[in-house]
Structure formats: C-alpha cells, structure tokens
Structure 1
Amino acid sequence: MRPFIAMLAALALASAAAATPERWKSEWPQTDFQTTTIEDWGEIISGGPPKDGIPALSDPQFLQAGQESRIGGTEPVITVEIEGATPRAYPIRYLTWHEIVNDTVGGVPVAVTFCPLCNSALTFDRRVQGRVLSFGVSGKLRNSDMIMYDRETESWWQQAVGEGIVGEMTGVELDLLPSWMESWDMFRQRNPDGLVMAEPSWNRSYGTNPYRNYDSSRRPFLYSGEMPPHGIPPLVRVVRVGDRAWPMTRLADETEVTEAGVTIRWAPGQASALDAGTIARGRDVGAVRVRDASGADLPHDVMFAFAFHAFWPDGTWMLGQ
C-alpha cells in the first residue's frame, strides 16, 4: 500500500470504532443528527482530513482553451455543456485536490464533484427548495465515497447518489446534470473557443496523483462491504445510468452499445487519473458519451464496480452476451 494511502487508512481505522453522532457533534454543532437515513453509523468513517481539510472551490477563474498549456492532451476533464453557455472543462488535476467546485454556468448554480476513491464524477444543480446551496467536503466517507455537506444547513450528502443522508436535507435529492469525463484533447478539439478552469491559487501538487496505482489494486480503499457479483473486479470502471451499470471492459470491446433506451459510445484517448504518479502519464482507459434515443446527453457516472454494488445492491449489470 502506498505511503499516502497507508497514512489515510491508519487515521480512518483508528477512528472507525468511535464513529458515532455524539463524537461528531462538537465538530458539527449545526447538524441535525436526529434526522437521518443512516441506520448503521459504523458505515461512516473519517477519510483522514477534517472538515474542509480538502478545500472545495467556489467561483473559479477560467481561461480560453487556446491559452491553456499546462494540461496534457490525454488528461481527464469533466465537461459541462449547458445550453446558452460556453462549454467548460474542469480538469481532474485540480479536482483530485479539491473534489468540489461551486460554480454558475449559464445562470445555473452547479456543483462539479469528483471522488477519487470511487472515480465518481457528477455535476449537480445547487438549487434546492428555493435556495442555492454551497457545498464543501466533510472529510467523512461511506462505502469509500465522499460525503459532502452544504454550508447553509450543514446537512450531509452522499456524493455518489446526490442525496441528503444526515440533517435537515435528509432525503432530498439533488438534480443531476449531464456532464462527462473526457480527455483535454477531446474537449478542446470539439470546443476550440471553450473555457477551462484556471489553476487554483492553493499550494498543491497539481497534475500529480496521490493515489498512485490505485485503480489496479486488488481491493478498494476504506471499503468493507460486499464485492461485485459475476466475478467483476471491484476496481473495474462501470458506466452507471440510473440503476444500470455497463462494465467499461465490455464497452471498450464493442465501442458502441445501444440498449435499455441508452446509446453509449466508447473511444480511446483518456488517461486514468488514478494510475501513474503523474496524471498525464496514466494508462489509457478511454472515454464515453451517453445519449438517449433522441441523441441528447444523459446524466451518468463512470465509477468503480464496488461503489455501484454498494449503493445499488439490486442494480442491473449490463453484461451483454
């Protein structure tokens, strides 16, 4: 186990036995722990950093795509394209260290999120019950997935499912917006006049991967739940649409799949952000676009198989013939 991951594991395991709401109330005095969908508090553990120890970003700066020269061509970005707004790319080299970006695109308040331990990259609408929320990183994990919190009510939210799990917002679901991971080259070739998030002013080793070789590990980090069925390795990427999951290995073989009202196209050229010590040198894992029957982009996620099974234990595995 790599030193960085080993350090986080030691911190998390040391606190797991004491993972109770009572222990957290001093850190979270505004959180309503009586209102929750959590039945077993032992599922929630510290990931190592404290509340805001991983600093979420708000109102980031942007560059014209042609002005950006630091990002490698195969490096992954999260693309957000909202009608009436210039397409935007959020580089994973920054989200690895910040995990959440609060932004506004075309008048829509969005939270662009990335959980490295699940490879989950989702974009949410921040408008909830008539107000705009701002999200931060709680420092807590459940099934190895980031627990976000909103600064307005200090409710906790499960990133992989976009739902409130503790506090006033328990049971509230965030609206998921279409976005996707692709390479920087793919984005700028399609959007030469697009925008890319500028490097934040924090002192971080942007472009490096602190989870080196993680996605070739035999077991996921800080996860004690069931492994996926059908002999699927836990750290294989799957494309999740609703409660269905298509293994990326199948998509790479077939390149295009149309079923269950969904068309998924796979193309090579995107580096893994969780492989080499430098993200730009990660092995090629490919990228997907997911569209409905009319050709419109669909909200989806590309996550690890273990995380899909953890949050959708009764989900459907689209394994083909």
Structure 2
Amino acid sequence: MLRLAAILTLIANTAVADPNFWKHEWPNTDFETTSVENWVEVLSGGPPRDGIPALDDPTFIDVANEGRIEEREPVITLELQGEVPRAYPIRYLMWHEIVNDEVAGRPIAVTFCPLCNSGITFDRRVGDQVLTFGVSGKLRNSDMIMFDRETESWWQQAIGEGIVGELTGVELQTLPSWMESWAEFKARNPDGLVMDQPNQRRNYGANPYVQYDSSHRPFLYSGEVPPHGIEPLARVVRVGEVAWPMTRIAQEGEISENGVVLSWTAGQASALDTQNIWQGRDVGTVRVRDGAGVDLAHDVMFAFAFHAFWPDGVWMLAQ
C-alpha cells in the first residue's frame, strides 16, 4: 500500500509540476522568487501544511527525572558554551520534525527529517528578524521543506536555505549538534536537561517508518542514486560539501583528515529500523571535531540526499 500510494502521489504531482498549483494553499508565498528550477522535484509528502505539527517553546525536565526514554534511543544533543546541555529525543522529533526553542536568548530550530535521517540545528535569526518554522508537508528529493510563519518562504531542511519566497537564497546558520544515545548524553551530562514529552496524542517511542533505512529506494525520490556503489539509504557524515561513509568511520574507529576528526562509538539505535525505536540495530554515534577538539556543525544523513543536494560533493572513501 505504501508503494502504491507513493506511485499515485508521484503521478499526481508530476502532472501539476508547476508552482501555480501550490498558490491556492500558499496565497502569501512569493512563488515568483525561487531557486527551484525543476518543480517536478517538489511533491506532497501526504500531510498538509502543519499536518505534522512543529513544536514551539518546549518544556524541559532534569535528566534525573526522565524515566521514559530507553538507553539506546537517539537524541539530538545541543551543548552551547556556558549553557546547560539539552537533549531533544528523536522519539518526539519523529512526529513533529521541528522544535522552535530558545537557549539563553538565542532562538534555535532543532530539525529532523526522517526520510533523510537528517538532524540539524539552526539559528532562527535572519538579520533582525526571528523566524518561526513549521512543516510545509512538501518534499524535495525526499527532504522536508520547512516554512517560516513570518514571510511564508519555503526552506530546504537539508541545506538550511530559502528556496521559495521572499527569503530565497538566505542561508541559516547551522549550530554544532549531534545524535547520540540517551545513555551517552546522560552519562556525560547528569545535570543536563531533556525535552519533556509533548502534550499531544502521538505514539511516542514508536517508528512509523519500519525498516525504512534498509529499503532499496527512498520514499518519493526519483533522482540519481549515489556513486561508488554506495547504497541510497546508507548513512554518511556530511561536513560542508564533504561526506564520509558511516561504515568506514565505524570500521576505523577514528579518522583524521581534511581538517576534521571523526570518531565512532557503538550504542545508538537506528530510529528507522524496528517498530520500537530503542530496539533498532546499532548504528553507533559519530562525533565530529576540528583538530583542537571543537565540535563542528555536521549532519548524519542518507547517501541519496547528500548526492541530491551536493551532486559535486566530495566522497571520502577508504584509502
């Protein structure tokens, strides 16, 4: 049924591969200003605008008071200098995809696109304006298209850039954050904070994309497969326009090249494998730092998405 629905959606969207089709739903978006060259790439993922509800102003609890999250479950960790570390559990982001938060007066958006395994944290400021992000319900190359409520411009989550509307071409600042297991976060940050469970009716802790990351083809994606024989849904670690296959990092344990130090440790469950997130196979945690040990902004994403958005990107294969 999932495959049939994808085919029907693809046919329907291909027939209306024109920005005029979206104007009735987005009357305040400037479709004349856009970097999208091929509108066939823009598809409806199924849910309408805000059908996947982003979270605003989340509440947090002390690590010691959290008893619902299993040890191997992934969280997105944010450790800003001088601030109490925060964990954003994937069990919540799976169902909401965006969290609009503020840390020490700094507005941020913690984002997760399940179809690309892309988890990125952005600064929500553009000049003097603070943006609030929502989920548009649209996909491009199977990656979430976000929108801001202030200008209703569209933003590509994987690249953090405006692609439709007034803010087309504007790039958001990416902040260093990373996915790790809940056990890793709380062992390092016993006095840290963790986002509390939202007061919404969702099956938190469950994965609605069972065995997705072992599929042969991404959902609603018709682009090229990655080069070098890399499987489309294999994980890669992207730093800028350079990507390292996760399998290589796991095999070598630590890699130091191109001005980047990548280290791998076991213990983190895949959020996109089994029905219960915590039971997913071990994909491990990667930390990405510079030569001085400073955390670097990066993303752990599927190979097809890296190739789609960085077709001329550099692949750091085994030597």
TM-score (norm 1): 0.97
* Cα shift at 1:286: 0.3
Look up the match of 1:189. Answer: 187
1:121 to 119, 134, 150: 119
Look up the match of 1:18. Answer: 16
Look up the match of 1:136. Answer: 134
Look up the match of 2:259. Answer: 261
Distance in 2 separating the partners of 1:5 and 1:194: 42
- Whether 2:79 is the aligned partner of 1:78: answer no
Distance in 2 separating the partners of 1:201 and 1:18: 37
| Change beyond 3 A, Cα 1:288–1:68 | same
Counterparts of residues 162-181 of structure 1 (less than 5 Å)? 162-181=160-179
| Identity between Structure 1 and Structure 2 (%) | 68
- Whether 2:318 is the aligned partner of 1:314: answer no
Distance in 1 separating the partners of 2:8 and 2:277: 25
Distance in 1 separating the partners of 2:111 and 2:88: 10
* Cα shift at 1:4: 5.5
* Cα shift at 1:17: 1.9
Instruction: Note if contact 1:82-1:106 (Cα within 8 Å) is conserved in structure 2.
Output: no
Look up the match of 2:219. Answer: 221
- List, as ranges, runs of 4+ consecutive aligned residues in structure 1 with deviation greater than 4 Å: 3-9
* Cα shift at 1:121: 0.2
Instruction: Note if contact 2:78-2:176 (Cα within 8 Å) is conserved in structure 1.
Output: yes
* Cα shift at 1:219: 1.1
Structure 1 portions without partners, runs of 5+: none
Distance in 2 separating the partners of 1:53 and 1:109: 23
Q: Deviations over 1:148-206 (max 9, x none)?
A: 00000000000000000000000000000000000000000000010000100111110
Structure 2 portions without partners, runs of 5+: none
Distance in 2 separating the partners of 1:100 and 1:269: 25
Distance in 1 separating the partners of 2:265 and 2:7: 35
**Alignment coverage as a number of residue pairs:** 319
Instruction: Note if contact 1:211-1:274 (Cα within 8 Å) is conserved in structure 2.
Output: yes
TM-score (norm 2): 0.98
Look up the match of 1:239. Answer: 237
| Change beyond 3 A, Cα 1:9–1:180 | farther
Look up the match of 2:297. Answer: 299
Distance in 1 separating the partners of 2:98 and 2:224: 28
1:41 to 39, 47, 65: 39
Secondary structure of 2:206's counterpart equals: coil
Instruction: Note if contact 1:117-1:144 (Cα within 8 Å) is conserved in structure 2.
Output: yes
Look up the match of 1:199. Answer: 197
